[in-house]
């Protein structure tokens, strides 16, 4: 068999060829990308396993699909026929946690939440916190430049990555970046790798920036609004006020209704949107008071300010449960557009208008402080694929975001689902530059083909 050479290059038990076991590595959280049939799966335990896999794949011109925790929702890890899947989920070592320099060196299979918990033992934290933080891996976060609830203050994954080790398509090992907070020697290859969705190299180690954890519990503001537009206007007012929120999340009426049906959150009849705000740090109380003032000025019907840590945790648990609540309504196409924050009210209006015109339920939540909306297109669970009217509505949402100066994806990535729209955002010249970089680092085109670009 063609895999015999690879089998001999790996320690026992690290090459999976049994079709039933291989099938477990063929799906991510998005179930509407039909996967191909992999030739085999390499379950990597160390960098040398990845090196051996890439050397073999390059020599045999076999496509390689890198894979982390499988929590992606855009088909970014969907295999193609005859490919080799390389799973990084077993590479879970935190190799170094340095409180003095506030850095951690980790393998790609480390779970986001596990790193944060380890950092908290030293009075530090790992800032990026996607909704799937308990199950998503650092490698996957780097591949998609993941965000999360705290990114309005601390930035997305890119702002927390200082350096990387990655295995290139031919099996050679590339080291990028450094351990210092500053450094401008050479091109920024670290930033190039982040968000590249496994198309340029397979990350096997990351040097990450940690930050001091707030010494006091955050102060939380919960505000209810009679319209989504007023809630979005409050977001822009908070941003302009300089209050410096550490979290700014918006949920529309359809999302709140889904949560209420599932968890009985006590939703009032006149509430069309809820805004959750937090501030941390020494001036958290003053910042929260300013955010509350902005909510009142924007027309909030109810504003509550709390310093209770347990209450704050309960509110955030409700927000993190939003997608699970919506998924109980039917099958979901979870989208991810981002607009300038000043355009947030217009974008919410556009989503509502598009949903109404197509007769579709589209609950929408947002990392509002970043202008990052997640419209969720809900459709009949019995349908075998995403219906045409959902794609038509999604197309209009994408183009509305671009027309407002926005982007097709703020944090989920392009994967296979959004490649059709790349030209509309990038343009011919930029897309050509992307392809030139891809050819330089992956001349055979074997790294995650059909994804991202």
CATH code for the domain defined by 329-445: 3.30.70.2740
Q: Could you say which DSSP state residue 24 is in? A: T
Indicate if the pLDDT at residue 375 is higher than 80.
yes
Quick one: fold of 94-212?
3.30.465
| pLDDT score recorded for residue 312 | 87
Average pLDDT over residues 421-433: 94
Indicate if the pLDDT at residue 263 is higher than 70.
yes
Higher-confidence residue of 224 and 308: namely 224
SS3 20: helix
Contact in structure between 112 and 95 (CB atoms under 8 Å): no
Contacts of 137 (CB under 8 A, 6+ apart): 68, 69, 71, 88, 89, 108, 109, 110, 111, 112
| pLDDT score recorded for residue 29 | 81
With bands split at pLDDT 50, 70 and 90, how would you rate the model's confidence at 253?
very high
Indicate if the pLDDT at residue 384 is higher than 90.
no
Higher-confidence residue of 417 and 202: namely 202
Question: From the DSSP assignment, how many helices (H) and strands (E) are in the chain?
Answer: 15, 19
| pLDDT score recorded for residue 33 | 82
| pLDDT score recorded for residue 3 | 77
Higher-confidence residue of 391 and 32: namely 391
Residues spanned by CATH 3.30.43.10 within the chain?
A: 4-87
How far does Cα 197 stand from its chain's mean position? 11
Indicate if the pLDDT at residue 154 is higher than 70.
yes
Residues spanned by CATH 3.30.70.2190 within the chain?
A: 215-326
Higher-confidence residue of 27 and 120: namely 120
Residues spanned by CATH 3.30.70.2740 within the chain?
A: 329-445
Taking the alpha carbons at both ends of the chain, their separation in whole angstroms is 32
| pLDDT score recorded for residue 31 | 62
Class of domain 215-326: alpha beta
Average pLDDT over residues 4-23: 94
The lowest-confidence range among 3-12, 29-38, 123-132, 396-405 is 29-38
Average pLDDT over residues 232-240: 95
Quick one: fold of 4-87?
3.30.43
pLDDT tens figures, 192-206 = 999 999 999 999 999
Indicate if the pLDDT at residue 240 is higher than 70.
yes
Indicate if the pLDDT at residue 431 is higher than 90.
yes
Mean model confidence pLDDT for the chain: 95
How crowded is the C-beta side of 221, counted as CA atoms within 13 Å?
A: 34
Residues spanned by CATH 3.30.465.10 within the chain?
A: 94-212
Contact in structure between 147 and 370 (CB atoms under 8 Å): yes
Beta bridge partners of 249: 276, 367
């Amino acid at each position: 068999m063609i895999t015999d050479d690879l089998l001999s290059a790996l320690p026992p038990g690290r090459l999976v060829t049994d079709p039933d076991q291989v099938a477990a590595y063929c799906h991510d959280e998005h179930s509407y990308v039909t996967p191909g049939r992999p030739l085999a799966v390499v379950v990597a335990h160390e960098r040398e396993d990845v090196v051996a896999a890439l050397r073999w794949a390059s020599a045999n011109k076999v496509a390689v699909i890198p894979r982390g925790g499988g929590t992606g929702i855009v088909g970014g890890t969907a295999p193609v026929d005859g490919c080799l899947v390389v799973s990084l989920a077993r590479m879970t070592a935190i190799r170094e946690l340095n409180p003095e320099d506030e850095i951690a060196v980790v393998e790609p299979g480390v779970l986001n939440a596990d790193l944060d918990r380890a950092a908290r033992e030293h009075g530090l934290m790992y800032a990026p916190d996607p909704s799937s933080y308990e199950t998503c891996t650092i490698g996957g976060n780097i591949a998609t430049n993941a965000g999360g609830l705290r990114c309005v203050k601390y930035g997305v994954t890119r702002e927390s990555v200082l350096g990387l080790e990655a295995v290139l398509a031919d099996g050679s090992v590339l080291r990028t970046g450094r351990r210092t907070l500053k450094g401008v020697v050479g091109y920024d290859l670290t930033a190039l790798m982040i968000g590249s969705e496994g198309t340029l190299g397979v990350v096997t180690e990351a040097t990450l920036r940690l930050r001091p954890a707030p010494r006091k519990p955050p102060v939380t503001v919960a505000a209810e609004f009679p319209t989504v537009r007023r809630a979005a206007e409050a977001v822009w007012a908070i941003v302009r006020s300089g209050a410096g929120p550490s979290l700014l999340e918006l949920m529309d009426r359809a999302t709140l209704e889904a949560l209420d049906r599932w968890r009985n959150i006590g939703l009032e009849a006149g509430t069309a949107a809820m805004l959750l705000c937090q501030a941390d740090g020494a001036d958290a109380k003053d910042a929260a008071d300013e955010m509350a003032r902005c909510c009142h000025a924007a027309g909030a019907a109810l504003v509550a300010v709390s310093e209770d840590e347990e209450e704050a945790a309960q509110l955030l648990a409700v927000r993190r449960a939003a997608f699970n609540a919506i998924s109980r309504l039917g099958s979901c196409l979870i989208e991810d557009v981002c607009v300038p924050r000043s355009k947030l009210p217009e974008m919410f209006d556009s989503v509502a208008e598009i949903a109404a015109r197509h007769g579709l339920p589209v609950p929408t939540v947002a990392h509002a402080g970043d202008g990052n909306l997640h419209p969720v297109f809900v459709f009949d669970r019995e349908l075998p694929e995403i219906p045409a009217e959902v794609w038509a509505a999604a197309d209009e949402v994408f183009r509305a975001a671009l027309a407002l100066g926005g982007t097709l994806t703020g944090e989920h990535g392009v994967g296979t689902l959004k490649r059709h729209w790349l030209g509309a955002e990038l343009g011919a010249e930029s897309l050509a530059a992307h392809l030139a970089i891809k050819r330089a680092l992956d001349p055979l085109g074997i790294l995650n083909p059909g994804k991202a670009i």
